[in-house]
Copies of this chain bind each other. A is one copy, B any other.
């Protein structure tokens, strides 16, 4: 498996990014990802009960179609909490994209990120779609990866190449983080593209498993967004024998897992106001779920996070956080090991002595800068 720290689109994929005026700064704010041939699609969405309009439209299309060719994403506006008008706006955007690409509406997915509760200016989007489509190219990913950013400090991108099903398969991903530098922009979005020939069921299964171990194992401030999504397209252009189960499936899942975890860690590194990158490994749990609950309980504890910022060895806070998670731990079985706190990267190990399962979670510290970032705005 080869890993590249850039997003190099797999065979058959193109992308583009453009500024349509949703961001007042004039920065890129509209991204289009395109597969020249129909692709299998799998998505994971936020479990927040308030979901943005584009997620509802994408879910509908995932129910109606088995083949997808485009994902349209705007930043600068989350199109969330916008009622029936927001649904119409998302639908109009999708229609304009499908028309320009000569596709069925259902083969287009959509996402948005930005301010909650404000109408999306669809006219601005529609106006630029012909140009956005005309400019699709392999290298356009470098514009697209920027157009999905809100206030991220750097673009998050990764590419993995691995042998599976008798061919080299490429998986490439871009993401935007929970860098809530301007308020209400709390969205984590990831888009993953592969030329693997894989069954829809296997793609979904692999994505479920990889997201559980990556994007669901990171937290910046424990706040769940209304737009969080991971969207994956697999167009089969690598020409490998169909991946469905067995060794090929395992190889694909391993490579996809690397892409997901890589992007997830970049999101934590770019967490708002973060001065530390903290890895929390819980060992000796009864099962993965329990281990992750314990690790997330530490990672979301403001007391723990401020202690890490202050390089303050208050390890009683680790035990208190795990105790508060509801897991039936015993004081006498509980152990912790923490690496030097004066480094940027901190490793926390927790031993529960209840079983053999473990989980690793990544988080940042809680800093005055986080508060400044999230308090200032109007």
Contacts and interface: CB of A to CB of B under 8 A. Distances in A.
Interface of A: 47-51, 80-81, 83, 115-117, 180, 183-184, 186, 221-226, 300-303, 306-307, 309-310, 312-317, 319-332, 334, 366-368, 370-372, 374-378
Contact of A116 (B47, B48, B116, B319): B319
Contacts of A374: 302-303, 306-307, 310
A115 B315 CA distance: 11
5 contacts: A49-B323, A49-B329, A183-B312, A223-B324, A312-B377
A183 B302 contact: no
B116 A320 contact: yes
Contacts of A48: 320, 323-324
Contact of A371 (B313, B316, B368, B376): B368
A301 B223 contact: yes
A367 B377 contact: no
Contact of A223 (B49, B221, B302, B329): B302
B367 A310 contact: no
B370 A306 contact: yes
A30 to B, nearest CB: 22
Given A50-B334, A371-B367, A314 B184 contact: yes
Nearest to A301: B223
A303 B182 CA distance: 11
A323 B378 CA distance: 23
What does DSSP make chain A's interface, helix, strand, loop or mixed? loop
A183 B325 CA distance: 20
Tally of this chain's copies:
2
A117 B324 contact: no
Contacts of A83: 331-332
Given A307-B375, A326-B49, A329-B49, A320 B367 contact: no
A306 B371 contact: yes
Contacts of A309: 371, 375
Contacts of A375: 306-307, 309-310, 312
A117 B317 CA distance: 10
Residue from A116, A317, A321, A371 having most chain B Cβ neighbours under 10 A: A371
A221 B80 contact: no
A182 to B, nearest CB: 10
A320 to B, nearest CB: 5
B223 A331 contact: no
A327 B49 contact: yes
Contacts of A328: 49
Nearest to A311: B375
Given A80-B316, A81-B319, A223-B321, A366 B371 contact: yes
Contacts of A314: 116, 183-184, 377
Nearest to A220: B302
A169 to B, nearest CB: 36
Contacts of A312: 183, 375-378
A49 B303 CA distance: 17
Contacts of A376: 310, 312
Given A183-B303, A310-B374, 12 more contacts: A49-B323, A50-B322, A115-B316, A183-B314, A184-B316, A186-B303, A223-B324, A302-B374, A310-B376, A312-B375, A312-B378, A368-B368
Given A303-B221, A312-B376, A320 B371 contact: no
Residue from A314, A325, A327 having most chain B Cβ neighbours under 10 A: A314
Contacts of A371: 306, 309, 366-368, 371
Contacts of A322: 49-50
